[in-house]
Amino acid sequence: MTSDSMPAAEAPVRTASRIDRARLLGLLERFALPLLLVLVIVVFSTLPATSSTFTSPENIRNVLGDQAVLGVLAIASILPLVVGHFDLSVGAQASITQIAVAAAMSRYGIPMVPAVLIGIAMGAAIGLVNGVLVAKVRVNALITTLGVATVIAGLISLYTKGTTIVSGISHDLINLGQGEWLGIPRTTFFLAAVALLVAYVLGATVYGRRLRLVGSNPAAAQLVGLRLDRLVLSTFVFTGALAGVAGALLVARNGNANPASGNEYTLLAVAAAFLGATSIRPGQFNVLGTLVAIFFLAFSVNGLNLAGVEPWINDVFNGTALVVAVGLSAVFARQRQRGA
């Protein structure tokens, strides 16, 4: 009894078509989100209702400039996500560091650069608290960062009594937030710098590789001698410092420090990080994918607003986009497993 009944003639043909299909699915998965971004831009650029306003330089500049704070926070939240932990305090950290930066200038007359550094240091310190609780005390990161975010909200209202800091903010900082270089909002350059920094750290350093190892398999990482606690702790500190940058950008963009602003960014940031993980390098949190996700959401919402839809659409759109994207990536992943 041997294998004599072999439909060999049929096999190669089918194999080839299946390979093409698998490869196509893979490409589709990687570039679905960038394609959607392009699609959104094309649609709103040609739609009669929006074509004139959507493509105007002012509009594009506004969208770009407005996304800097969210972009920095989303990229910041990637770092703990890479090692498997959520940081749900990035918005609160941006919120309190903007107060710190503004108060340093307005109440204590500290110049811009040291004031911004104070904000960054404060973010790093909060990150240290998060990191110690998660990595050393081993409290669940969701609980830790939600708790820390709540404490921060309380401290903000204690310090500000709910009033916005408007006076005494360095004009240099406000110019950074509202001016342009080469026709591009200055905040966008800061977003680009943060993106490059994190992409470099994750993709091209030994430290970044170690984070990927820990994220892929903590047990194995321990057995190759990696100090899990230190690595995890460091990501929270890194994130905190970047949230400090976001806080400074928030002051720069708004020209003031409103205790109510900042918090709303947390969920959007984490959502963008997750959306980003469905593209470019599917299954891995990555900087480029996150940026694409942010601008996809931003241009979509912007176009819809210009088309005159009611404002409640924004939230519905953001939420739907997230669920659909994550759902699609799950479908693609299943297809890959079965068919590839």
Q: Which residues are near another protein by CB under 8 A?
A: 1-8, 10-11, 14-15, 18-19, 22, 200, 204-206, 208-210, 212-213, 215-217, 219-225, 227, 283-284, 337-340
For 336, other C-beta atoms within 10 Å of its C-beta total: 15
Identity of the residue, 4 or 58, whose beta carbon is nearer to another protein in the bound complex: 4
Judged by beta carbon, residue 125 or residue 288, the one nearer another protein is 288
User: Helix (H, G, I), strand (E, B), or coil: what is residue 180?
Assistant: strand
Nearest to 144 by CA among 165, 126, 158, 167: 126
Compute the least distance from the CB of residue 25 to another protein, in Å: 12
DSSP string covering 30-94 = HHHHHHHHHHHHHHHHHSTTTHHHHTSHHHHHHHHHHHHHHHHHHHHHHHHHHTT---TTHHHHH
What are the structure tokens assigned to 146, written together? 């939600």
| Strand bridging mode 180-181 / 184-185 | antiparallel
Q: Is 292 within 8 Å of 273 (Cβ atoms)?
A: no
In the complex with another protein, the residue whose CB is nearer, 15 or 320, is 15
CB of 135 to another protein, least distance (A): 16
Nearer to another protein, 115 or 233 (CB): 233
Closest approach, Cβ 105 to another protein, in A, equals 36
Could you tell me which residues come within 8 angstroms of residue 308 by beta carbon, excluding any fewer than 6 positions away?
Answer: 49
The token duo for 334 is 């299943």
Nearer to another protein, 168 or 283 (CB): 283
Q: Are 103 and 222 in contact (CB under 8 A)?
A: no
Shorter beta-carbon distance to another protein: residue 57 or 283: 283
Q: Which is nearer to another protein, 151 or 228 (CB)?
A: 228
At closest approach, how far in Å is the CB of 309 from another protein? 40
| Neighbour tally for 143: CB within 10 Å | 13
Q: Shortest gap between Cβ of 114 and another protein (angstroms)?
A: 30
**Residue written as tokens 């959104």?**
40
Shortest Å distance, C-beta 228 to another protein: 10
Burial class, 252, CB count within 10 angstroms (exposed 0-12 / middle 13-18 / buried 19+): buried
Burial of 208 (0-12, 13-18, 19+ CB in 10 A): middle
DSSP 257: B
User: Nearer Cβ to another protein, position 90 or 277?
Assistant: 277
Helix or strand or coil: residue 165? strand
Residue 76 CB, nearest approach to another protein (Å): 20
Q: Per the structure block, which two tokens stand in for 38?
A: 């392009």
Q: Which is nearer to another protein, 107 or 334 (CB)?
A: 334
Q: CB of 284: closest distance to another protein in angstroms? A: 7
CB of 144 to another protein, least distance (A): 23
The length of the chain is: 340
Residue 71 and residue 294 in contact, taking contact as beta carbons nearer than 8 Å: yes
